[in-house]
């Protein structure tokens, strides 16, 4: 069985199925199409599937032309029919792994997908979990569900974990250019998964087990969360003693070894850094341990929006204005620069805090024309307002929450009365600096 799949991969005749066609799944399809594979994409969201079938992209950095061409040529078959999973030789799972309301891992989507895969599993298929999760998920959650098929892992089907390291909005790295860590449940599964990815990505990093690969991804994201928390805390301290933290970091990063620059901001955003470390804390609690770095980093990072609003309040106060009834324009609701993804964006927390203080709010984001209704945020439906001279002049305060490259910061500062800059986005602005407050 393994031999047949090995041959199919070697000859690029294996059909690669990706389950979950979101920010991770769609770029992965692109990497496999570029490597010469035929691909299938599965998603329970039939609106997404219809868009793809119609040649339309819903992700900024994936072009509609590319989708249209691949769908027409049959290199990419999008479908909402999960029964068709049996047609793919390899199934790569890229579904969401959020937190529950009590901040515990919510594996609902992974479990649903594993059940769907089990229902149509056939001998010779390779299943790889890519969703970010805690060490043990592939073996303890996915494998038992696949076992329901009656097939045996290692002889009938194969199972591995390989974390996705997609960095949306980063033009220097696409899915195919990022080394891929691969850990199989057994040696055969490891070998097959390595062979498959070796064709589509620049470099394979084999590890000894699924658990090591799972832990690797969480380590990477925890490392970022902890370091961002450290510079966020230093930002508040340095600000109090009149030192610009961004200037300090720019100086420190000239050290050619032993220092990597992380930057402060208005709070963590996105689907990974604010969430994944808590998957590890949950495992730690199960083993009677605490992950103190993760908890402290979480506390500092989640308190950043309050700090920004406090600084904004002080700056308005200097001008004799309260936040109440002040016109405040928030620039950027995507969670980071140059992406169209607003999930877990700190901008929503900032806007909620400002709304509570009765500010008169509006927002602009060239990548997010309509503010989507977010499950955990109580904000009215809004549309991005045009960023004109008149809009800026009408504001009491402009709050830069996301430093999109599309913004003309000279223009923004030039026409605003007060600018609160949480990203050091205005660092090159020469005139009107007296109107800028970093926060």
Ligand X SMILES: NC(=O)c1ccc[n+]([C@@H]2O[C@H](COP(=O)([O-])OP(=O)(O)OC[C@H]3O[C@@H](n4cnc5c(N)ncnc54)[C@H](O)[C@@H]3O)[C@@H](O)[C@H]2O)c1
Please identify every residue annotated as catalytic. Answer: 272
CB burial class (10 A; 0-12, 13-18, 19+) of residue 255?
exposed
Please identify, among the stretches 21-29, 185-193, 195-203, 372-380, the one whose residues bind ligand X according to the rule CB under 6 A. 21-29
The number of residues in the chain equals 439
Instruction: Determine, following the binding rule CB under 6 A, whether residue 24 of this chain makes contact with ligand X.
Output: yes
Distance, CA of 59 to CA of 429 (rounded, Å): 31
CB of 69 to ligand X, least distance (A): 21
Measured CA angle at 315 (ends 313, 318), to 5 deg: 110
Distance, CA of 15 to CA of 13 (rounded, Å): 6
Can you tell me which of 43, 233, 352, 396 binds ligand X, judged by CB under 6 A?
43
Beta strands in 241-365 (DSSP E): 327-331, 360-364
Instruction: Determine, following the binding rule CB under 6 A, whether residue 77 of this chain makes contact with ligand X.
Output: no
CB of 280 to ligand X, least distance (A): 13
CB of 32 to ligand X, least distance (A): 15
For residue 370, give the DSSP letter.
Answer: E
Instruction: Determine, following the binding rule CB under 6 A, whether residue 97 of this chain makes contact with ligand X.
Output: yes
Please identify, among the stretches 15-23, 191-199, 304-312, 322-330, the one whose residues bind ligand X according to the rule CB under 6 A. 15-23
Instruction: Determine, following the binding rule CB under 6 A, whether residue 32 of this chain makes contact with ligand X.
Output: no
Note the Cα 401 to chain centre separation in Å: 17
**Closer to ligand X by Cβ: residue 114 or 315:** 114
HSE toward the beta carbon, residue 418, CA cutoff 13 A: 21
Q: Which of residues 267-306 bind ligand X (CB under 6 A)?
A: 271-272
Beta strands in 299-357 (DSSP E): 327-331
Name the phi and psi angles at 323, rounded to 5: -65, -35
x/- map, 138-167, ligand X, by CB under 6 A: --------------------------xxx-
Instruction: Determine, following the binding rule CB under 6 A, whether residue 22 of this chain makes contact with ligand X.
Output: yes
Instruction: Determine, following the binding rule CB under 6 A, whether residue 174 of this chain makes contact with ligand X.
Output: no
Instruction: Determine, following the binding rule CB under 6 A, whether residue 41 of this chain makes contact with ligand X.
Output: no
Q: Which helix (H) or strand (E) holds 371?
A: strand 370-371
Find out whether 292 and 144 touch, Cβ atoms under 8 Å.
no
Please identify, among the stretches 95-103, 119-127, 228-236, 410-418, the one whose residues bind ligand X according to the rule CB under 6 A. 95-103
Can you tell me which of 14, 17, 18, 23 binds ligand X, judged by CB under 6 A?
23
């Amino acid at each position: 069985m393994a031999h047949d799949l090995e041959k199919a991969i070697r000859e690029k005749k294996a059909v690669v199925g990706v389950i979950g066609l979101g920010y991770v799944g769609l770029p992965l399809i692109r990497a496999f199409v570029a490597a010469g594979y035929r691909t299938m994409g599965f998603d329970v969201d039939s609106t997404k599937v219809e868009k793809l079938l119609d040649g339309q992209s819903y992700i900024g950095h994936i072009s509609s032309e590319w989708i249209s061409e691949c769908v027409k040529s049959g290199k990419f078959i999008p479908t909402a029919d999960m029964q068709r999973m049996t047609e793919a030789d390899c199934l790569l799972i890229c579904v969401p792994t959020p937190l529950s309301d009590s901040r515990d891992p919510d594996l609902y989507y992974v479990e649903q997908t594993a059940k769907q895969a089990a229902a149509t599993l056939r001998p010779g298929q390779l299943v790889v979990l890519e969703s970010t999760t805690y060490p043990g998920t592939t073996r303890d959650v996915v494998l038992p569900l696949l076992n329901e098929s009656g097939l045996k892992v290692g002889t009938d089907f194969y199972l591995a974990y390989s974390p996705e390291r997609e960095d949306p909005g980063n033009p220097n790295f696409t899915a195919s250019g990022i080394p891929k860590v691969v850990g199989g449940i057994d040696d055969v599964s490891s070998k097959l998964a390595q062979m498959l990815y070796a064709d589509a990505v620049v470099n394979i990093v084999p590890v000894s087990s699924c658990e090591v690969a799972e832990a690797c991804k969480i380590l990477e994201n925890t490392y970022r969360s902890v370091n961002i928390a450290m510079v966020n805390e230093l930002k508040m301290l340095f600000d109090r003693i009149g030192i610009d933290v961004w200037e300090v970091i720019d100086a420190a990063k000239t050290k050619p070894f032993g220092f990597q620059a992380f930057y402060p901001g208005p709070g963590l955003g996105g689907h990974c850094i604010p969430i994944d470390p808590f998957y590890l804390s949950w495992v730690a609690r199960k083993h009677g341990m605490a992950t103190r770095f993760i908890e402290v980093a979480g506390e500092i990072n989640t308190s950043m929006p309050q700090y920004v609003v406090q600084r904004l309040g002080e700056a308005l106060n200097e001008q004799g204005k309260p936040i109440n009834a002040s016109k405040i324009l928030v620039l950027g609701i995507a969670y980071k620069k140059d992406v169209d993804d607003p999930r877990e964006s700190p901008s929503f927390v900032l806007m909620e805090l400002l709304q509570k203080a009765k500010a008169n709010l509006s927002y602009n984001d060239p990548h997010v024309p309509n503010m989507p209704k977010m499950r955990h945020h109580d904000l009215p439906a809004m549309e991005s307002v045009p960023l004109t001279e008149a809009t800026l002049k009408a504001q009491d305060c402009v709050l830069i929450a996301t430093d999109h490259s599309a913004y003309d910061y000279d223009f923004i500062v030039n026409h605003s009365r007060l600018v609160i800059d949480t990203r050091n986005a205005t660092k090159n602005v020469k005139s009107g600096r007296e109107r800028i407050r970093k926060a």
